[in-house]
Structure 1
Amino acid sequence: MEYTLDFDRIKGFVTDKNDKYSFERRKYVRVLPLPSRTTGDRAEYKDGFSTVSAALLRLIEGESLEFTQQADFYEDIIDAGEFDTEETKAIFKEFLQVELGQADRNHVNTIQNIKYIAQPEAIAERKGQTQIIEFFYDVFIRHQHEEIKDIVSCLQSKGLMQDILNVQVKKSRVTLRPKYRVLFKAYSDTFKKDLMALVKSPGFFIENIDELFIHYTFIAMTQIILQTNKFSQFDEINLHTVPFMLNTEKASTWRIGYKEGFQRLKEQVESFYTHEHILNILALNTFTSDENLYYHDYAEILEKAGKDATNSYIASIYKWVNTVYCRYLSLEPKAQYEGQDLDTAYRYMFEMVRKGVPKEHFSRFPLMYTIFITRFYRKNGGSLGTILALNLKQLLLFTAVSVGTKSRIELNELWQELEKRGIALDDDTKMNVVVMLDKLNYIDKKSDSGDAQYVKSIL
């Protein structure tokens, strides 16, 4: 078998009808749910995350992602029932309008109320949120759908009223085509574990499910960015943590939350559109038709195929960059193939392709990611800019799921559990967390010296 890029197929992918080069993506590999246009499909979450949570909960129950309360919404539900008098029908319609007309984040006390939060009316917001919903569903739910459904089902109310209220939602059910790949099993396992803990306290679940979905969305996107930037050294097992502070702390330049937090993530995502384009090019090769493969996947395939296959593949990368891409973009090749390894070839390809990517992609593409961060994790650091920070609600949620259904855990175990959820805290923040939890009576001290401290259950 020949191990090379397929130049003919790549040409069909990257050139338009006028034979001009086009920086396409998402056809063979779907990496991040981020738009690259100025308008049209960018979510800003000005009203929070509840509409995303509602859609995800509907999907978990096998219902429709899309849901709006249009003019015929109540009529369709009423038409599905039978009434002895017009007066009874009118009373029931009034009940529905009161019960479901208040379905927003300020009037929910059951999972059913959340599920009936309608999608945003603004088209751009709805499209942007739909991309996030599809991403989350594929990464955390699809491969363990039945398990997740069984966990959440205990929160569903049972009986005739439940059946009546579900008529409109279930009627418009659609099947989502898989788009994104599960890359980090550890996160999907921890997400499932967190859901299992939260359902033990329905009120806490209802109050905090938005924050849980927000965090796993953020940490999955962030991990993909950090790992993909490592090219063939992408690691699906040893995951990065992200440093957070508490939003009540004072930021300083020496704090790890400043050095390795928002500014680092902003830099890591700046040129990421280049990866999205390159990975789709690499998918067009002569030896596999699999989609959603990353740099490290090809490294594994080639390692099994042998040295000759690897060298042939690397040579084809240099040939395509130097004789095809550079010609289209009027660039001068910077290196020739002289036995370089695979990772060096990837980095050369990235360097050259990045030179041709339109500047607007580098400004538009990262924007939704940074909007997401600043909307849900931002602390204003003054002259230091945006600082990644947790508020009290987020801290209590992650503490609660870290302790889980146990009566208590050791304090050191709390830090380990937070790291499993992508959260790293420096020593100053850890001290502040202990002080805050102690004030709320969630710290159990075995002695006045502070030895053998425990974190008590919040659920």
Structure 2
Amino acid sequence: MTIDKNNLPVNSELPQTVDDKVGTTSLKSYFPIRTSKKGNDFDWSTVVGLFLRKLMRKDIGSYTLNDYLEDCRALFLEKLSEKQFWNVIEEMYFSNDSIYSISPELLVFKSQQDMLKIRDEDVANLFLSLANGLEINKFSKKCNFIEAQMVDVLDKKLKDDSKPMKVIEHTYLPFLSASFCKDIKFLCSKPVYFLTEIENFLRLYAFTYSAQLSISISEWSTCKEPTAKPLYFILEHEKASKERIHIQKHGYQLYSYGALNLYPILNMLETLQPSKDEKIPLWKLAKCVKESTNDFLKVYLKNFALRFKSDRDLQNNTTADSAFDWLEYIFDLAKDQFNDYRTDRPAIRRKYVDEIEKHFASHFIQNRGRSGKILVLNQDYIILLTNLAIGEAADKLRFHELIAEFKQRGIFVDKQTEQELIKFYERIGNVERMSDSGDAVYVRKTI
């Protein structure tokens, strides 16, 4: 991407700065949490339906679950010699949501317009950004005769939806996107496991994305693609003593501190995006600015910075010279405005972090009294993470290779937790110990 005058938000005049009204935001990309009065309520099952529908490139339109029931009824009444058997099928599959356990395709019914909450689509779009254009055409679940007929009924009603997204959002964390794509393909190859774990899978990635983005976002001026940053978890049953330095300094505390910068930086990034139709991450925008030879860019960014500083009555001065210097100054100002206790903006930023924790982090944070808040993994997430890390490539991995795969997904553990992990694997019977050395410990999948 080349930044020039015609790629800037406006060509002939300086744009207005972000709205100064308390609680107003221009944030529309890279994170689904908002500060609007409408709130951030969303439903995980609906998010799953939306994400799956868009991953499959299928449109369900106005075709409802009731329509589907009637089509299934008509099909089976035509094929069954004993018509009353339809009542058994209806009771078995439609009376208690068992229909959704047949095959993942059926989850698209949870994505219909009348079921949507305020942030459902925004959260689903976060996962679509991580999927980075991945498309899943078909699930390979082996259904019984009745279920195969029911899946076929739905397949005939789903319409192809290959329309490009209105706004292309280039992934902010390519390393996490690569793991997400590998993991979702693995889950889709195991439809039964997909159905039981898809919500936990998305919850896990929602948190690791928010945590890794929080830690990485202030390093944008390196102009380098982010890599997985150390963020330490312990197992839910472990003690978190203050002597465990990684847990204390590179766990919840690191994540929470970084999260304070998400709203100021992402909000300003939205304002400075060169295109309305294509969103690029800040580290990539910074690289474009640094490599640009366009003299207008320096003038534009300087004028924008001075206008923003004046509008917000900020006291931060600068000796900026190059276009890149002015870009750095703009993002310093973006953060400084939320440190201005003459206004309500610090409270807005704190509320934003609280909303992230409420919706994305509650399963992964515990308050341990004197030790404070820490990041934890329960047994369900450990098993899921283990199966994902081993994936399709093999039935088992050496323990140190497994830990490396955890890190690629934003999950780090110290030596003490490593030993607890091995004990846990031994208890559930999916470990092979060739010797007492960690290099000779193999961990198997549980599926």
TM beyond 0.5: yes
**Paired residues for 1:322-401 under 5 Å:** 322=306, 324-332=307-315, 334-337=317-320, 341=325, 344-354=328-338, 355=340, 358-401=345-388
> Partners in 1 of 2:76 and 2:396 — Cα distance?
52
In 2, Cα distance between equivalents of 1:80 and 1:260: 59
For residues 449 and 300 of structure 1, what CA distance do their matches in structure 2 show? 45
Does 2:413 correspond to 1:425?
yes
Q: Aligned residue pairs: how many?
A: 433
Superposition RMSD in Å: 4.0
Q: Is 2:130–2:176's contact at 8 Å kept on the other side of the alignment?
A: no
Residue of structure 2 equivalent to 1:296: 283
The C-alpha deviation readout for 1:437-458, integer Å capped at 9, x for no partner, is 1122222122356662222333
Report which stretch shifted further, 128-137 or 174-183.
Answer: 174-183
Any conservation in 2 of the 1:58–1:64 contact (CA below 8 Å)? Answer: yes
From 49, 55, 61, the counterpart of 2:56 = 61
1:283 touches 1:290 (CA, 8 Å); kept in 2? no
Aligned match for 2:228, one of 217, 223, 239: 239
1:278 and 2:268 matched? yes
The answer for the alignment partner of 1:229 in structure 2 is 218
CA contact (8 A) 2:231 2:410 kept: yes
Q: CA deviation at 1:362?
A: 1.2
Higher deviation after alignment, 330-339 or 392-401: 330-339
Letter in 2 for 1:441: G
1:349 and 1:230 map into 2 onto residues whose CA distance is 16
Q: Does 1:320 align with 2:313?
A: no
**In the aligned structure 2, how far is the partner of 1:202 from the partner of 1:77?**
24
- SS of equivalent residue, structure 1 residue 341: helix
Q: Select which of 402, 417, 420 maps to 1:414.
A: 402
Partner of 2:139: 153
Residue in structure 2 matched with residue 265 of structure 1 by the alignment:
255
Matched position secondary structure for 1:423: coil
Deviates more, 1:355-364 or 1:188-197: 355-364
Give distance in 2, aligned partners of 1:25 and 1:97: 48
Which amino acid in 2 is paired with 1:292? K
How many Å separate the matches in 1 of 2:54 and 2:436?
50
The Cα offsets for residues 345-396 of structure 1, whole Å up to 9 and x where unpaired, read as: 2443334443477345313322332113443213342343432111111111
CA deviations 1:391-445 (Å, max 9, x no partner) are 1111111112222241322221111111111110011110100111112222212
1:37 is matched with: 36
On the 8 A contact 1:445/1:454 being kept in 2, the answer is yes
Whether the 8 Å contact between 1:37 and 1:365 is mirrored in structure 2 is no
Q: TM-score, normalised by structure 1?
A: 0.78
Match of 1:137 among 122, 128, 139: 128
Q: Quickly say closer, same or farther: Cα 1:195–1:53, change in 2 above 3 A.
A: same
CA contact (8 A) 1:418 1:424 kept: yes
5+ residue gaps, structure 1, are none
- SS of 1:229's equivalent in the other structure is helix
- Structure 2 matches for 1:189-228, cutoff 5 A? 189-199=178-188, 201-228=190-217
Rate the CA distance shift 1:378–1:66 in 2: closer, same or farther, 3 A: farther
Read off the aligned partner of 1:435 and give its amino acid letter. Answer: K
**Residues 245 and 425, structure 1, Cα contact 8 Å, conserved in 2:** yes
Q: Which runs of 5+ in 2 are unaligned?
A: none
Q: In structure 1, give the amino acid aligned to 2:402.
A: L
TM-fit CA distance, 1:305: 2.8
CA distance in 1, matches of 2:247, 2:272: 36
Highest RCO, 1 vs 2 (Cα 8 Å, sep ≥ 6): 1
**Closer/same/farther in 2, CA of residues 239 and 439 from structure 1, 3 Å limit:** same
CA contact (8 A) 2:72 2:150 kept: no
- The separation in 2 between residues aligned to 1:177 and 1:342, in whole angstroms, is 31
